[in-house]
Structure 1
Amino acid sequence: MNKILFYYPDHYCLNNLSAHEVRYQRVTYKTVEHAYQSQKFHDKKIAKLIQLAKSPLGAKAIAHKNTKLMRADWETIKIKTMRDIARAKINQHPEVLKVLLSTLNKEIVENSPDDYFWGIGKKQTGRNQMGKILMELRKEFILKKRGLSN
């Protein structure tokens, strides 16, 4: 197989919903999803509710419920934000880095049937932004390991 579908057990740790705490901007979150959803808001109360949500899907639901209060620049910063949070997770969890590097040069695909932006969607025509981020980070960590980057 030339594609890594990271919703499956062997690569599930690459998923934003995986139970890997991440420290981002001096705050600890239960998952990447918690961190990402909380960044959508300048409102500290909403961000805190998201941070404390019992599950990643709960965090996402709180964010969705408060869409009207989302920061105005979100669409322009969301990919960079996700990349930064995913990088933090990989840096903080050596076992996740090991799995990421084990994908070698294969295409990494978020095979979510419902998400055509971060994943490929049911029709497999989506943008796969999360997969692209993980492949960029894989390259970054390989170069770092070889001493060719910061």
Structure 2
Amino acid sequence: MSKPIRFYHQNKSYGFFSNFAPYPIYLKDKIWPTSEHYFQAQKFAGTMYQEQIRQAKSPGEAAQLGRDRHKPLCSDWELIKDDIMGEALYAKFTQHPELTKKLLETGNAELIEHTRNDVYWGDGGDGKGKNKLGKLLMETRERIRDEFSSQPN
């Protein structure tokens, strides 16, 4: 098995995996500046706050707005957040051919969001986190690989 690939900062190795990386996605009839914008905005789907997050000047600002607990989250957020992230990742890695190629070039390597800042989406910095982002990226890679292999030549 190949060596695990660790990523976090968008301006370092494998930074394109970061949701802060500047790759717009088209979902729900709108262009979202980054997958972070899309993900954070979906916490407030159907509200004016969703559009405010979409228009945030940076992914950091979108994240900050999305973490504002003075606004009510979608009632089923904890149940749907992984699916929303998966949707964003699939859009990002299929709408940008260069990202499709880079993702597939990782082969079967384990993808790990390496950060102490997050024990759910990341590895917690010590490997004890859930690494949900890395797992969803690997699922996205497998889905794309399967779709490519089933296409007629």
**CA 1:109–1:117: 2 relative to 1, 3 Å:** same
Report the TM-score, using the length of structure 1 for normalisation: 0.92
Moved more, 2-11 or 15-24: 2-11
Query: Runs of 5+ in structure 2 lacking a partner?
Result: none
Partners of 2:140 and 2:45 in 1: how far apart?
Answer: 27
2:30 is equivalent to residue 27 of structure 1? yes
Deviation (angstroms), 1:43: 4.6
Higher helix share: 1
- Over the aligned positions, Cα root-mean-square deviation in angstroms equals 1.5
Name the aligned partner's letter for residue 75 of structure 1: E
**CA 1:65–1:99: 2 relative to 1, 3 Å:** same
- How many residue pairs match? The answer is 148
Report the TM-score, using the length of structure 2 for normalisation: 0.91
Deviation (angstroms), 1:57: 1.1
Which residues in structure 2 correspond to 1:1-150 (within 5 Å)?
Answer: 2-7=3-8, 9-66=12-69, 68-147=71-150
Name the aligned partner's letter for residue 5 of structure 2: I
Matched residue SS, 1:97: helix
**CA 1:42–1:125: 2 relative to 1, 3 Å:** same
Partners of 2:86 and 2:68 in 1: how far apart?
Answer: 24
Work out the percentage of aligned pairs sharing the same amino acid: 33
Once the two structures are superposed, what CA deviation does each residue of 1:96-124 show, in whole Å capped at 9, x if it has no partner? 11110111011000012210000001222
**CA 1:67–1:131: 2 relative to 1, 3 Å:** farther
Moved more, 49-58 or 139-148: 139-148
Partners of 1:126 and 1:109 in 2: how far apart?
Answer: 10
Partners of 1:26 and 1:83 in 2: how far apart?
Answer: 18
Query: Runs of 5+ in structure 1 lacking a partner?
Result: none
